[in-house]
A and B are shown apart, each in its own frame.
Chain A
Amino acid sequence: MLVDALDHLVRGIVGHPDDVQVRSKPLRRGTLLEVRVHPEDLGRVIGRSGRTATALRTVVKALADGRPVRVDVVDVDRGR
């Protein structure tokens, strides 16, 4: 559910919704959600001073209802 929710939240705010990918990876404690977007959308998903990324984290954490969850926006050019 969290993956779908985050996927939806990100898709809605980018210019290339079809290029959005959210993957869930188990962490030792909790879950990591990795967000990948079209390089042109990276700025949009992160936002001024990380404001948008913070908003995404805030909403996802609220939806996780106490389960530990981390949200990372992956820079596709560099990471992978």
Chain B
Amino acid sequence: MSDTDVTGRSEGMDEDPTEAVETPADSMTAVDDDAVSDPEAGPVGAEEEFSDDEEGSEDDEDGDEADDETASESSARRPRRVPSLKRLEEEGEVAADYLEELLDITDLDGDIDIDVENGRASVAVVAEEENNRDLNRLVGSRGEVLEALQELTRLAVQARTGERSRLMLDVAGFRAARRRALEVVAAKACEEVVTGGTPVRLDPMSAFERKVVHDVVAGAGLRSESEGEEPSRRVVVFPVSQ
């Protein structure tokens, strides 16, 4: 992929007429997604340039995880069993122990925040001092290290609790910043769909990124789906079907 601007969409709106008819008649558009764009973005801090991400996203295929389902699928067809608050807090603590010791061993300074958001444990490693950029090593240039570390942290939780974890990890505010940028992209796409009346296809994104977009789209009362295979899986936003 040679996109220089992942935040823009890469194709014209009407280059594929088949898309427009594809909208199923029975699809409910006003989806009450469980996770409409949460402004709760977590810690801030990274001034990463999010110019690319596709190649780094092969590790987010996440078949085990419903991150990437379209909003309508996740809320209508497959209600997710949300673990109890206590369970999620325990997940956060196990994860924090795992990460804390890693920071210790590697001499990286960071504080660990634990939270529960949208039915998931959410753990963030944040710099103790604003300008300390050492933690970016745990993010990687495209977030690939962060994805890997999240994967390992989930497994560490699973090893202790015996259950799959959908925990979200952020380091140095990387995800938080990425989410804000994507919310803008998604809102723009929605606008285009509403004014143009044809589907808009976004650039390839990781599962986390697609989830952010799906949530914004659902919040705008439109419908979205993911299409294609990793790592070029992408979100398509559809107009309201009536």
Contact = CB atoms under 8 A, between A and B. Distances in A.
Given A1-B107, A44-B155, A58 B140 contact: yes
A12 B101 CA distance: 10
Contacts of A18: none
Interface stretch (A25-33, A48-56, A72-80): A48-56
A39 interface: no
A8 to B, nearest CB: 6
Contacts of A51: 59, 151
Contact of B106 (A12, A47, A63): A63
Dominant secondary structure at the A interface: helix
Size category of the binding interface on chain B: 20 to 34
Nearest to B101: A8
B159 A12 contact: yes
B144 A58 contact: yes
A52 B107 contact: no
Given A4-B105, A5-B105, A58 B159 contact: no
A59 B148 contact: yes
B41 interface: no
Given A9-B152, A13-B155, A55-B148, A63 B137 contact: yes
A14 B159 CA distance: 6
Interface residues of A, number: 21
Given A13-B155, A15-B159, A62-B140, A1 B105 contact: yes
A47 B59 CA distance: 12
Contacts of B155: 12-13, 44, 47, 52
A65 interface: yes
B85 interface: no
B148 A58 contact: yes
A5 B106 contact: yes
Nearest to A56: B152
B151 A55 contact: yes
A52 B154 CA distance: 11
Given A13-B155, A56-B148, A58-B145, 18 more contacts: A1-B106, A4-B105, A8-B101, A8-B102, A8-B105, A13-B152, A13-B156, A14-B159, A52-B151, A52-B152, A55-B151, A58-B144, A59-B148, A62-B137, A62-B140, A63-B106, A63-B137, A65-B137
